[in-house]
Amino acid sequence: MQAGNGTILSIRDLRKAFGGLVAVRDISFDIPEGRIFGLIGPNGSGKTTVLNLITAELSADSGSILFEGREMVGRQSFEVCRARIARTFQLVRVLPYMTTRENVMLGRMFGSAPTSPAQAAQDADALLERVGMAGRADLVASQLTYIDQKRIELARALATHPKLLLLDEWLAGLNPSELRIGIDLIRQICQDGVTIVMIEHVMEAIRALCDRVAVMNAGDKIAEGTPASVLSDPEVMHAYLGADDAAA
């Protein structure tokens, strides 16, 4: 991983409730620039809610989200994108009746550095090749497999020229060979200068990629540290991993 140059994202006392359910309870952590940070925990623990708060899909009840020293709480989603934060989604979001190229072009034309349609098409083809979709730019997105739609979504996120990329279970559903390719791709994206926060249940990927990990359970952050220290934490094993997986 690329050496960091300080903190790119700082979250302090972030809180979000839905009625009586507190989805994120006053959590804090820092994301070092140029690193890969893992956010793990059982389903329903609040991980995706954190990403939704960072990208302004949800409004925080309280707390602070500082990106490169600028407050993101209170911003709109398009402002967050133009600040150079991008993401993928747990449930893939592609425009099904547009081509693969057109899906990626949207990120290039409406991201942090908008450009002409011709340049956007050229850049889209290069990004599709980067994520393993070379030669498939003219296919309609609805014709593609789920895994290939995830690749489109990643290429579209990269097309916005992010400094911070949020990946919500992007590696889920990959077979072993696809997983190795996916791990290498994420590592290369980081080496190219993009800081990454990844929600993931694939512990092989967390161990291989992440410099630091935070664990959530029922809205609380229950642990933070290196993958080795976190995955051997008894509270983490009890809440999420299970002793067998943590010891693997």
Say if residue 240's pLDDT is above 70. no
Tokens of 198: 């990844």
**Using CA atoms, how far apart are residues 65 and 34, in angstroms rounded to an integer?**
18
148 lies in which domain range? Answer: 92-161
User: For residue 88, what pLDDT band results from cuts at 50, 70 and 90?
Assistant: very high
**174 and 78: one domain?**
yes
> CA 38, CA 201: separation in Å to the nearest integer?
10
- Angstrom CA distances, 188 to 135, 193, 194, stand at 21, 9, 9
pLDDT tier for residue 231 given thresholds of 50, 70 and 90: confident
CATH of the domain at 179: 3.40.50.300
Same domain, 69 and 26: yes
Verify that 98 and 212 share a domain, yes or no: no
Which tokens hold the place of 61? Answer: 């009840």
Q: Which of 56-65, 110-119, 212-221 has the lowest mean pLDDT?
A: 110-119
pLDDT (average), residues 135-152: 91
Cα distances from 67 to residues 12, 117, 158, 200, 201, in angstroms, run 12, 29, 18, 22, 26
- Amino acid 116: pLDDT: 84
Q: Which residues pair with 18 in a beta bridge?
A: 21
pLDDT in tens, 170-224: 999 888 988 999 999 999 999 999 999 999 989 999 999 999 999 999 899 999 9
Task: Give the rounded percent of residues in the chain with a pLDDT score beyond 70.
Answer: 94
Which helix (H) or strand (E) segment holds residue 149: the answer is: helix 146-159
* Whether residue 80 is found in the same domain as residue 8: yes
Q: Are residues 103 and 127 in the same domain?
A: yes
Asked if pLDDT for residue 114 goes beyond 80, the answer is no
- Do residue 96 and residue 188 come from a single domain? no
> What is the structure's pLDDT at 245?
47
Q: Tell which of 106, 130, 161 closes a domain.
A: 161
Rounded mean pLDDT, 101-120: 87
In this structure, the answer to whether residues 32 and 127 fall within a common structural domain is no
In terms of domains, do 80 and 9 share one?
yes
Last residue of a domain, one of 145, 161, 177: 161
Distance CA 174, CA 4 (A): 29
Residues 6+ apart with CB under 8 A from 161: 84, 111, 112, 113
pLDDT in tens, 146-175: 889 999 999 999 999 999 999 999 999 888
Q: What is the mean pLDDT of residues 121-132?
A: 93
Q: Look at residues 161, 180, 211 and tell me which one is the last residue of a structural domain.
A: 161
Q: How far is CA 166 from each of CA 48, 55, 96, rounded to the nearest angstrom?
A: 10, 9, 22
Nearest-angstrom CA–CA distance, 108 and 131: 15
**Is residue 119 predicted with pLDDT exceeding 50?**
yes
Burial class (CB in 10 A: 0-12, 13-18, 19+), 30: middle
Same domain, 149 and 182: no
Residues 172 and 68 grouped into a single domain: yes
Q: Are both 171 and 237 inside the same structural domain? A: yes
Query: Are residues 172 and 237 located together in one domain of the fold?
Result: yes
**Domain count for the chain:** 2
Is the per-residue pLDDT at 31 higher than 70?
A: yes
